[in-house]
Chain A
Amino acid sequence: MADHGHNVRVTINGEAHEGHVEPRLLLSDFIRHEAGLTGTHVGCEHGVCGACTVLLDGAPVRSCLMFAVQADGASVETVESLANGETLHPLQEAFRREHGLQCGYCTPGILMTLKPFLAANPAPSDADIRQALSGHLCRCTGYQQIVAAVRRAAAMLRGEEP
């Protein structure tokens, strides 16, 4: 059979990752299995749950609804880009303090949606926050603590809370 493999080069969290992949390889699986970055989770593989959300050239997208070949030349950010060594990103710190996660399956996708959201909306209302979260399913928390965590993260990023 002909080799249907394609060479791809994707910059993930500032580092180049190359691979020779089948076109049907999903970007989510490239990130997890080729690049070994398993922080990006896979729930439904049809765009509904949001667990696989990453930033593609700065904008949040479902990595389960793209092929790795389509990200050739692009820049991807995953949850692993947030913390600085042992120091948590304010988003992560706020989720920790407000119990914004329990099992943590949904969290990486939520954080990647929230990073550009809070950059564009430094002082969101609760309604804004709920709207921003609407593309993510969490089966544990009941969402209240997540909303509280986003409120706290926004305050931390504004420099109003340590």
Chain B
Amino acid sequence: MKPPPFAYECPTEVADAVALLAAHGADARPLAGGQSLVPLLNFRLARPAVLVDLNRIAALGHVTVENGALRIGAMARQAAVEADPGVARGWPLLTDAISHIAHPQIRNRGTIGGSLAHNDPAAELPAVMLALDAEMTALGPEGTRTVPSGEFFAGTMETALAPDELLTEIRVPELPEGTGWSFREAARRQGDFALVAVAVLLRPSGSSSGIDARVVVTGTGDGPQRMREAEAVLAERGTGGDACEAAGNAAAQASEPADDPHAPAWYRQRLVAALTRRACREAAMRMGR
């Protein structure tokens, strides 16, 4: 189908985009890569009166490393971040996860900020940002605020952003030397949204096992979920013996998927157990354990 009519604004400055959102309130929507929003318009599931196109705001497209931390402008294309050698060196979990998003043609337009602001319950990037302890910078009429990823993702297609706030930047902290990582996804076809995806990050630490673990699962409910029981298993026991299996079982127990047309709940739960186990072993191997 064709999209419903809307008025089109195309600012070149971030401040102008924020002013437009403030002026039009809930009638306006930012347009990033359009890879989720334009299908919604074409299906007429969304009918914003005004679209504020962010694509000509040059200040939102950066991908830089500063004092060890990664700074990604909200409008950086997924394909650009996927191909960035600095990202691959410092945050290979992010590089790998992006390759699971749709197809190259979609990633050439789709943006990092658009995916995070959209927060599809089976999207890869929210899960990865949660695992990486990323911080979101939001700009609204009242100014700038920083939201930790643990508070940003607020449920199916919900975030902490107010309608007149723009996500402007994502900051990802440096990973300590010797961090192990893995991203595992099961989807029915290459490029589909995940049935289940798991991100595991193992940082060296002073815990009893020497590991600080992050286990994040997505596809099982209303967005990315930190599996704290599984994390606790790994922090206590490390990754040797059957610890990864125990972590997988703990994650499966904590997940509460519902039956849907793509997969029954029991199948997703088994995926959580298996993918968490495999991701844990792969991350441990990359950690050199």
Which residues of A line the B interface, CB within 8 A?
Answer: 4, 6, 22-24, 26, 29, 45-47, 50, 53, 56, 59-62, 64-67, 69-70, 113, 131-132, 134-135
Contacts and interface: CB of A to CB of B under 8 A. Distances in A.
16 contacts: A23-B51, A24-B6, A26-B38, A50-B105, A56-B108, A59-B79, A60-B104, A69-B8, A70-B55, A113-B105, A131-B190, A132-B104, A134-B103, A135-B104, A135-B105, A135-B106
A56 B55 CA distance: 14
Interface string B2-45: 11111110100000000000000000000000110011011100
A20 to B, nearest CB: 13
Contact of A135 (B6, B103, B109): B103
Nearest to A60: B105
A113 B106 CA distance: 12
B86 interface: no
Interface of B: 1-8, 10, 34-35, 38-39, 41-43, 51, 53, 55, 79, 102-106, 108-109, 189-191
B185 to A, nearest CB: 14
A4 B1 contact: no
Given A24-B2, A65-B34, A135 B39 contact: no
A64 B3 CA distance: 11
Contacts of A50: 103, 105
Nearest to B3: A24
A62 B8 contact: no
A128 to B, nearest CB: 12
Contacts of B105: 50, 53, 60-62, 113, 135
Given A23-B51, A46-B43, A134-B189, 13 more contacts: A4-B8, A23-B7, A26-B42, A50-B105, A53-B105, A59-B108, A65-B106, A67-B38, A70-B34, A113-B104, A134-B191, A135-B102, A135-B104
A68 to B, nearest CB: 10
A134 B5 contact: no
B53 A47 contact: no
Nearest to A109: B105
A22 B5 contact: yes
Given A23-B7, A23-B8, A65 B35 contact: yes
